[in-house]
Amino acid sequence: MVPGMPRSDTPLPDGRAERPRMPLAVYVLGLSVFALGTSEFMISGLLQPLARDMDVSIPQAGLLVSAFAIGMVVGAPVLAGATLRLPQRTTLIALLAVFGLGQVAGAVAPSYGVLFASRVVSALACAGFWAVGAAVAVSLAPPGMKARAMSVMIGGLSIANVVGVPAGAVLGQHAGWRAAFWAVAAMSALALAGVLALVPRTQPPTGAERPRLRRELRIYRDGQVWLAIAITALNAAATFCLFSYLSPLLTDTAGLDESWVPTVLVLYGVGALIGTAVGGRVADAHLFGTMYTGLAATTAVLALLALTAHLPAAAVGLALCLGLTSFFTAPAINARMFDIAGAAPTLAGATNTSAFNIGNTLGPWVGGLVIGAGWGYKAVSWTSAALAVAAVGATAVASRWHRRTAASRVVAGSRPAPAVPAADTGTAAG
């Protein structure tokens, strides 16, 4: 038996088969994502001390966030293609090592330029790990548990927002921003040890099943793939259009003291963690139903926030709800991409990673345009709601398309399409 793989053939006392368990290796991948996500988002809590120490402006320090996001968008498909024929475990180990070294380089960076370069390198490694790690998680998951495997990985990102990012901010305030980079480097080393111990060794297919980039790229000929990209990007844009400006909305519109902001961010992260866990449990059986429910609920939360943002209690409660609804949808959105591009799972993971970061970049940009036009923070919430409505519309189109092509929805590619459990073919009715 391969270490970390589940047993599903052990009978229970009443004669029923034991329910399959998620492999420990999938949770190790979630731990790795926790380290990656902490590094990606912790800069927002370190901007001021970092800017002072590096003698740069706040906007210049903020470019470190943009550098990471752009590195994720570009790096995911590029590294997925470049490592296609390498053993996946070897690729994960190499990328985690590079990411950890990138954190060390950031911690000892003597200048802003070196720090900027370390963020780009870290982002490229992070993007590649997300792409390959998602494919590994799905391949290790028992039948009918693909979405739940993705929820474990996304849960690592949620926990990073709940624990890692606030902890990085506190560490930066008391021990200097470089200490936060050292802490992430230590977490990366722990994740690397877990991958070495628990992720099984695999060899790339040979012969007719050998992966070929040209054939893998065929997934981009399928309009359903592009529609899935649009849904992922719109969901992320709807969330981060508002989330990026949540702090000034809380203080300027709701009238809360700045001391409330970390608490509300933690509440958002708690909601995201709950949403990921629940969404991962129901998405395998009700894929489109989960997408509809989550996106419609996100639209409602954003509209309510636009109407009641001047009420402090409403603003705080709805921030938690936004985390819950937006991340409730995430496992289903990710699983959908693996369903329609299952013949190229590494590129499927890479594509979804890029789509998420496109939304992560687009949303704040659109929100900034709204604020720059003088329409205020409530208008940002309305804009976010409009983006969520667009995601609902795209999901409706995807659902109808799926019903028409259910018999052949997996794109032909360089690897045999994985078996899809019957429960995972549900349409919008769930």
Is the pLDDT reported for residue 422 higher than 90? no
Question: What structural domains does the chain harbor?
Answer: 21-204 (1.20.1250.20), 207-430 (1.20.1250.20)
Is the pLDDT reported for residue 384 higher than 80? yes
The pLDDT confidence band at residue 167, using thresholds 50, 70 and 90, is confident
pLDDT more than 70, % of the chain: 83
Is the pLDDT reported for residue 157 higher than 80? no
Task: Report the 3 state secondary structure along the chain.
Answer: CCCCCCCCCCECCCCCECCCCCCHHHHHHHHHHHHHHHHHHHHHHCHHHHHHHHCCCHHHHHHHHHHHHHHHHHHHHHHHHHCCCCCHHHHHHHHHHHHHHHHHHHHCCCCHHHHHHHHHHHHHHHHHHHHHHHHHHHHHCCCCCHHHHHHHHHHHHHHHHHHHHHHHHHHHHHHCHHHHHHHHHHHHHHHHHHHHHHCCCCCCCCHHHCCCHHHHHHHHHCHHHHHHHHHHHHHHHHHHHHHCCHHHHHHHHCCCCCCHHHHHHHHHHHHHHHHHHHHHHHHCCCHHHHHHHHHHHHHHHHHHHHHHCCCHHHHHHHHHHHHHHHHHHHHHHHHHHHHHCCCCHHHHHHHHHHHHHHHHHHHHHHHHHHHHCCCCHHHHHHHHHHHHHHHHHHHHHHHHHHHHCHHHCCCCCCCCCCCCCHHHHCCCCC
pLDDT tens, 223-277?
888 999 999 999 988 988 888 788 778 888 888 887 777 788 788 888 888 888 8
Residue 308: its pLDDT value, please?
Answer: 93
Ranking 12-21, 120-129, 165-174, 231-240 by mean pLDDT, the lowest is 12-21
pLDDT tens, 81-118?
777 777 888 888 999 999 999 999 999 999 888 998 99
Is the pLDDT reported for residue 10 higher than 60? no
pLDDT tens, 289-339?
899 999 999 999 999 999 998 899 999 999 899 989 988 998 888 788 877
